[in-house]
Structures are given as structure tokens and as C-alpha cells.
Chains A and B, each alone.
Chain A
């Protein structure tokens, strides 16, 4: 590449990347700015007020070990919601993988009648908008008594999560040789140990990706939690949505940072499993 071309190339790369991360940068400014009004470009005043308000940093003068402890054990909304979100995401991840694993195996390894129909049915929730089924779900869940419970919300989160878990894992099974299991069986491993020593290690990378999607799709879910949680299952997106539609920018920004931190962290931790999983990236469409 010529010098000019190289400079242009780097300018383009930096431009694209910067533009894409700019919204996230605004969160960092807003979350620590105070009275940051137009036309200030850089805030004149900085403050931790937003973080105090959401109960993550003790007020000035109380930033002692005891103050921190009191604050964190008092269970502010955000801390509680963070706990709920994490518990919900974890539950959804575990449930979806346990439920989806056999189905993914069936779809990845075997041919059978009505396979196309089954695939279509499992993929349908990725195409039909949440709004189309959640309204019907809402009333039935209240009737069955699942509404407003963590488990109930987790089960409902499975609807948008399952397609991605099954899709990702069936892709793994399509490249999987079940004869490894037979080999282990004839060498003396029973079904459980075969699963533990053979199946699990073989599908592990795919399993990580599937779990990542399950967690992230659940983590970012607003409408389902809102309508099925009946206000008793308060997750971070619920707080953030209420805050964004009627609160102060600094607090909204601080909450947004709290909201994206675990998501970005999960991506970082599992990035090495993610490379090249084109089919799997589909899960991000739901977040």
C-alpha cells in the first residue's frame, strides 16, 4: 500500500470504530458529569452523585469500609436488580442448555420425518416479534400462577432463547461424530460417564457460545420480564427503561454502564470460542 493509501485506510478504520463506540463513551461522560448542560462539550463539574443515587457508592464522608458494607448490604434497587438479572440469566442459561441439548443433538445428527417442520417451529420465535405472543402469554401465565415469579419469567425467557441455543448446538452436533461415544461405551464407560468424558468435552466450545447467547438474550430482555414479571421480578432493563423514560441523565448513564458491564465481560471471556461461529452470531440479533 502506498503511504497515502495507508493513511486513508487507518483513518477509515479509526473512524468506523470510533463512531461505533461513541454512544458508549457518552455513558462514561454522563455518568460522572454534573450540571453538564449545552453548550459545554467537556463537563465543567464532575461528580459521583449518580453512583450515590443508585446506591453503588456511599455518600461523601461515608466512604469507609463500614459505609461500603452498609451500603452494599442495604440492597439498593440497582443491587437487587443486578442480583435478579444475574439469577435470571443463570437460570435461563442452565434451563435452556439442558432442554435444548437433546433437541440439538436430534437435529444435528439424525434425519427424520418432519425435520423441516420441527426446524421451522423452533426457529419461528426468531422471526415472529415478541409483541405478537407476549400479550397472549401474559393472561395465561397469570391464570396458571407463574406470573411474577422468577421461575415463571425464566421459563418465558426460554422462548426467545431456545432457537439460538438449539441452532448453535445443532451446528456443533452436525460436525460431531457420535462414534466417539460408542468407542467409549465399548471401552467400558456407562452412559453417564460417556456424557461426562466424551460428549461434554467434545461440544464444550459450542456449549459456551450457546450459554453466552442464552445469558445475553435473557439479560437484555425487557418486554417479557415487564409483562410476565408483574412488577415483582425487577431486572436491570426494567429499572433502566423506567429511568430512561423519566429520570436524570447521569443516573441513566450510570445504570447503563452497570447494564452493559456483565454483557461485555461475558463477551470478553468467551471471545475465543466465538470466532468463526457465523451461525451462532445470530443470537446477537435478539439483544
Chain B
């Protein structure tokens, strides 16, 4: 008996310096609130189940999450991933809101992590429904370029460490090379207007509204073009600026209506609906938010294999999306571990490849990665972007950042009043 004890003490003594040194490497970084150290987080997270509420409409994304995060979480950290699919992220916001209304305290809630950005984040932040700040207190946040306004500002609002980036996306169009050639493609809204008039009934866009942010983004980009550029929209919400240009945009969209699919009587409500219209040849342009462009949807068989992504010359909105932890998350530690894992460069390299089913862009700044095996993974990913993607140069050249979240709700409501119901 005594010998066994001795052995244990010895082992403990041997391990102590290692633990201390591990502590040291993170000395420059404060632990997330409520935890003594990152090790304490790992310790507490072991055995927990992380309830991740995320939009679940894409099975390939679901599959990606289960494979690329679920397995390492369990194997490396002893955490079980419970991914809860949502029809719309606002459902999760509403859930936390209802819980807070019902007086549910910290640790007693149901949601550990939400895939979130923009308006939903803004709502939760405003109602103080989030745990934090923590996003700059997890180890892998060192790969994140927090200086980049597109990361530090979510729809023009400061992130303040209450959400951690996961991936990035950029608006781009899809066309079918079997139906038209690259020379005929419109490269601006002005050209799109001409194209639509010349090809009546062959174009439509996703109705801006809840759960259909690509539609909102499509309209937002018109604001940029008609007002002469995106720069003036960056920063605080500006009602005057909006009021100045909104009538112009509505006028344009109304002028389109007779030339749109179904004469603009109705609009597709979701991305999936537009994919279907495009695939069946009802319209000639499709939208996506994926840097891999058409590749992902060619893979799933949702659109013809001859499809190809393209961009306008400018004003293609790109942004980051994030994960946030509700104030009442029952498994904060596990949520932190997951958020940290998502930033690991090899997994980031996995998520950009269409074949893996996720196909969104990097959440980290790849130039900060110095580990060799990670660099190799990133280089390999670059070769696998698929034939359906828009040229990387076009994407980079047309990229603009998104703007204050207030515009989104405003555009959605006004579009409905001034275009849909006119």
C-alpha cells in the first residue's frame, strides 16, 4: 500500500514542472471569465456535452460538423457534441430570451453555443444574453486577425470578445456555362438591369427577410452601387444616408419587376428555392455565399455540373461568422473548447474545401500560421477549391465588408413594404 502511495507522489512530482510550463506558455493570455486557467477549462470540459445550436438546413454542413468536430472533441477532449439543427438562428435567440424571461440563471440554460452573426448577435448582446468576453482568451485566437475590421466588427458593431470567428463567406453569383458564355455575364447592377430587360422572366432574387440574408445582401449591394461605393456606409448606422438612397433602390427594383421571374409577383424565399429554380432552368442566375461557388452544389447534385461562379467587379459583400455562448450555458467549458478547436488551422483548411461539405472561407488569418503541418494543410486546401469556384482574384477584387446591423432589418421591412407589397 505504502509503495503505491509513494509511486503516486513521485509521478505527481514529475508531472508538476510540466504542468507549470504548460501554464507559462499561456501566461500572456488571460483565461476566459470564470476559469482559473485554460487547463481548468479543459479539465471541466471533460465529460461534458456541448449543445451547439446551429442552422441545420444544409446536410453537408451538418455532416462536416459531426465528422470534423464531433470526432476530435470526443477523442481528444472527452466532450460529446450535440448539434441541434435550427430552421433559423433566431429560434435559438428566442429560446435564450424566453429562458431569461422565465428567470433561468447562469448554468441552468439549454444552449451552450450558437452559430451566429449580425442582427442576432446584436440582439443578444443588447439584451445581455451572452457570456464573455472570452473570444480573445482562448489559445487558438492567436490565429485570428483581430485588427481586421471585418473580424472585429460584426455588421459594423464591435464584437468585444463576445463571439469568436468560425468562417468567412462572400456573396457571389452562379451561372450555367451550358446556357451562356462568360462574356455575356453582367458585371454590375447596371449591367444586370440591362440583362434582365433583355431576358424577361429569367432572373429573380431571394426575398430579403428572416432566414434569407443572401437576399438582403443582394439588395444591400445595390445601395453600394447606386450610392457610388461602399466606403461611405462603413461605421455607425446613418439614417440620413439610408433615407437618401432607399427610394432610388426601391425605384430600381420596382422597375425590374415586369422583367423578373413571375413578373415579381413573388420571390424565392430561400437559397434552396433559388438553387432549384436555377437547376430547373427557370432562371439563369443563382446566388451563393460560399467561396467554393458552385462546386459544393454540383457535388450534392443540386445544380447542373456545368455551373460556375462569378462576381461583379465590386461590392460583393464578404463577412465573418461566429460562435457565441449564452449567459446561461450549462457547459461553458466544453463550448470554449469547441470554439477553440474550430480555429485550429488544419480544421480551418478542411472547412474551405467543397468536398468536405462545408465550403465556407477561413475564419483565421492563414498568414499567421507558422506550424509546418498546418501550412501543408492550407496549401493542400488551395488545390482543392473545385472547378465551380469564381476566380480567387475576382473574389478578392470585389470584396467589401458588411455594414451596421440596423440596415438589415430596415432593408427587409422596407423592401417588403415598397417592393413586395407595392
Chain A contacts to B: CB under 8 angstroms = 34-35, 37-39, 45, 47, 49, 53-55, 76-77, 138-139, 142-143, 147-148, 226, 230-232, 234, 238-239, 241-243, 245-251
Known: A35-B305, A230-B110. Contact between A242 and B85, CB under 8 A?
A: yes
Is the beta-carbon distance between A245 and B87 smaller than 8 angstroms? yes
- Min distance, Cβ B218 to any Cβ of chain A, angstroms: 17
Other than the given A142-B99, A242-B57, A247-B57, 12 more pairs (CB < 8 A) read A35-B301, A38-B280, A38-B282, A54-B59, A139-B102, A147-B110, A148-B110, A241-B87, A242-B86, A246-B211, A248-B59, A248-B272
Is the beta-carbon distance between B301 and A142 smaller than 8 angstroms? no
Is the beta-carbon distance between A53 and B59 smaller than 8 angstroms? yes
- Min distance, Cβ B10 to any Cβ of chain A, angstroms: 41
- Min distance, Cβ A167 to any Cβ of chain B, angstroms: 33
Which residues from A are CB-within-8-Å of B275? 248
Cα separation A35 to B3 with both chains bound (whole Å)? 69
Is the beta-carbon distance between B280 and A37 smaller than 8 angstroms? yes
- Min distance, Cβ A235 to any Cβ of chain B, angstroms: 12
Whether, in the assembled complex, B276 has its beta carbon less than 8 Å from a beta carbon of chain A, the answer is yes
Is the beta-carbon distance between B86 and A251 smaller than 8 angstroms? no
Is the beta-carbon distance between B86 and A249 smaller than 8 angstroms? no
Which residues from B are CB-within-8-Å of A53? 59-60, 63, 300
Which residues from B are CB-within-8-Å of A238? 85
Is the beta-carbon distance between B101 and A38 smaller than 8 angstroms? no
30 examples of A-B residue contacts, CB within 8 angstroms: A35-B301, A37-B279, A39-B281, A49-B301, A53-B60, A77-B56, A77-B83, A139-B98, A139-B101, A143-B103, A147-B98, A148-B110, A230-B95, A231-B92, A231-B95, A231-B110, A232-B51, A232-B84, A232-B110, A242-B56, A242-B57, A242-B87, A243-B59, A245-B270, A246-B57, A246-B271, A246-B272, A248-B300, A248-B302, A249-B276
Cα separation A245 to B86 with both chains bound (whole Å)? 11
Known: A139-B98, A242-B57, A248-B59. Contact between A34 and B87, CB under 8 A?
A: no
Chain B contacts to A: CB under 8 angstroms = 51, 53, 56-60, 62-63, 66, 83-87, 91-92, 95, 98-99, 101-104, 110-111, 211, 269-272, 275-276, 279-282, 300-302, 304-305
- Min distance, Cβ A59 to any Cβ of chain B, angstroms: 11
Which residues from A are CB-within-8-Å of B269? 245
Residue of A nearest to B63 (CB): A53
Cα separation A148 to B66 with both chains bound (whole Å)? 22
Which residues from A are CB-within-8-Å of B91? 226, 231
Which of A38, A142, A232, A251 sits near B102, CB closer than 8 Å?
A: A142
Is the beta-carbon distance between B104 and A142 smaller than 8 angstroms? yes
Is the beta-carbon distance between A77 and B110 smaller than 8 angstroms? no
Is the beta-carbon distance between B85 and A142 smaller than 8 angstroms? no
Cα separation A190 to B14 with both chains bound (whole Å)? 72
Cα separation A147 to B96 with both chains bound (whole Å)? 12
Is the beta-carbon distance between A35 and B304 smaller than 8 angstroms? yes
- Min distance, Cβ B369 to any Cβ of chain A, angstroms: 31
Is the beta-carbon distance between A251 and B59 smaller than 8 angstroms? yes
Is the beta-carbon distance between B57 and A234 smaller than 8 angstroms? no
Cα separation A35 to B307 with both chains bound (whole Å)? 12
Which of A34, A45, A147, A245 sits near B272, CB closer than 8 Å?
A: A245
Which residues from A are CB-within-8-Å of B95? 230-231
Is the beta-carbon distance between A77 and B301 smaller than 8 angstroms? no
Q: Which 3 A-B pairs have the closest CB atoms?
A: A246-B57, A38-B280, A143-B102
Which of B62, B84, B304 sits near A231, CB closer than 8 Å?
A: B84
- Min distance, Cβ A42 to any Cβ of chain B, angstroms: 15
Which residues from B are CB-within-8-Å of A251? 59
Which residues from A are CB-within-8-Å of B56? 77, 239, 242
Which residues from A are CB-within-8-Å of B302? 248-249
Cα separation A239 to B280 with both chains bound (whole Å)? 25
- Min distance, Cβ A122 to any Cβ of chain B, angstroms: 29
Is the beta-carbon distance between B270 and A246 smaller than 8 angstroms? yes
Is the beta-carbon distance between B60 and A34 smaller than 8 angstroms? no
Cα separation A251 to B98 with both chains bound (whole Å)? 32
Residue of A nearest to B56 (CB): A242
- Min distance, Cβ B335 to any Cβ of chain A, angstroms: 15
Q: Which of B62, B91, B211 has the most CB of A within 10 A?
A: B62
Residue of B nearest to A76 (CB): B66
Which residues from A are CB-within-8-Å of B51? 232
Known: A37-B281, A139-B102, A242-B57. Contact between A231 and B270, CB under 8 A?
A: no
Known: A38-B281, A246-B57. Contact between A77 and B85, CB under 8 A?
A: yes
Q: Which of A54, A232, A247 has the most CB of B within 10 A?
A: A247
Cα separation A76 to B67 with both chains bound (whole Å)? 11
Which of A47, A234, A246 sits near B301, CB closer than 8 Å?
A: A47
Residue of A nearest to B277 (CB): A38
Is the beta-carbon distance between B84 and A234 smaller than 8 angstroms? yes
Which residues from A are CB-within-8-Å of B86? 231, 242
- Min distance, Cβ B339 to any Cβ of chain A, angstroms: 19
Cα separation A142 to B97 with both chains bound (whole Å)? 11
Is the beta-carbon distance between B85 and A34 smaller than 8 angstroms? no
Cα separation A220 to B98 with both chains bound (whole Å)? 25
Is the beta-carbon distance between A239 and B85 smaller than 8 angstroms? yes
- Min distance, Cβ A75 to any Cβ of chain B, angstroms: 9
Cα separation A216 to B301 with both chains bound (whole Å)? 33
Cα separation A76 to B56 with both chains bound (whole Å)? 13
Is the beta-carbon distance between A246 and B59 smaller than 8 angstroms? no
Cα separation A139 to B211 with both chains bound (whole Å)? 23
Cα separation A248 to B111 with both chains bound (whole Å)? 27
